[in-house]
Amino acid sequence: GESVGLHLPTLSVQEGDNSIINCAYSNSASDYFIWYKQESGKGPQFIIDIRSNMDKRQGQRVTVLLNKTVKHLSLQIAATQPGDSAVYFCAESRGAGSYQLTFGKGTKLSVIP
Amino acid sequence: ETGVTQTPRHLVMGMTNKKSLKCEQHLGHNAMYWYKQSAKKPLELMFVYNFKEQTENNSVPSRFSPECPNSSHLFLHLHTLQPEDSALYLCASSQDLGNYGYTFGSGTRLTVV
């Protein structure tokens, strides 16, 4: 069935390096994507979003890239810090008229000091 | 605090017990959601309320019963649960349906014994 998924369940990076977290989606009608961060003991927290009419969007230390041709989404974190250690989820909206988000399983990012 | 408060944070209950989870938000949001987060699985949408009216029941077993007395409060009543219902139950709110700027609570960690 249609789903949002992630290529890797875990990712370890050295503090100060850049992190790239990937997400694949299968619903070509999806028009809106969000990245969430979930720290231990907390609920998911909105990081950044992107609409399907864009290829790239930048925030503070984070960049989301969208490749609609291959249905791929990535989150890039610059100069990764220990506070970035968390599980990162991508989520997609199924298109116009839908208010439901479909979430991926998540990638656990561990930052090595 | 995110503005969405869930109580209790942890709950252990027997299969014959009846308990309730509470969610409260004072963000002025009109839509509220219950999600289930199980280990190694994506977040699963359970119920959606808009202006305190239920708009979505995602084929959730009747042993889960939601209640939304007003736009600021959401409850999840639990009875005769099964061990496989053990999970993190997350409440979220958004300004309106279709507005994906969800604010999540920290969740209730439920263990059914």
Give the pLDDT of residue A1.
32
Phi and psi at B107, nearest 5°, equal 90, 160
Give the pLDDT of residue A60.
93
Query: Testing the interface with B: which of A93, A101, A108 to mutate, by most B Cβ within 10 A?
Result: A101
Q: What SS3 string covers chain B?
A: CCCEEEECCEEEECCCCEEEEEEEECCCCCEEEEEEECCCCCCEEEEEEECCEEEEECCCCCCEEEEEEECCEEEEEEECCCHHHCEEEEEEEECCCCCCCCEECCCEEEEEC
Q: Is the pLDDT of residue B13 over 90?
A: yes
Residues of chain A with pLDDT below 50 are 1-3, 6-7
Q: How confident is the model at residue B40 (pLDDT cuts 50, 70, 90)?
A: confident
Which of the pair, A34 or B53, is modelled with greater confidence? A34
Instruction: Test A42 with B41 for CB contact under 8 angstroms.
Output: no
DSSP letter at A106 equals: -
CA neighbours closer than 13 Å in the CB half-sphere of residue B57: 12
Candidates A98, A69, A100, A73; CA nearest to A88 is A73
Q: What is the mean pLDDT of residues B79-99?
A: 93
Mean pLDDT (chain B) is 92
Q: What is the mean pLDDT of residues B11-33?
A: 95
Instruction: Test B45 with A41 for CB contact under 8 angstroms.
Output: no
Give the pLDDT of residue A81.
97
Candidates A95, A57, A84, A85; CA nearest to A73 is A57
Give the pLDDT of residue A28.
86
Q: How far apart are CA B18 and CA B81, in angstroms?
A: 9
Tell me which residue in A4, A32, A45 faces B100 most closely, judged by beta carbons: A32
Give the pLDDT of residue A97.
59
Give the pLDDT of residue A64.
98
Give the pLDDT of residue A2.
36
Give the pLDDT of residue A6.
46
Phi and psi at B85, nearest 5°, equal -85, -5
Give the pLDDT of residue B100.
78
Instruction: Test A44 with B104 for CB contact under 8 angstroms.
Output: yes
Give the pLDDT of residue B51.
86
Which of the pair, B57 or A64, is modelled with greater confidence? A64
Give the pLDDT of residue A3.
45
Candidates B90, B87, B96, B93; CA nearest to B41 is B87
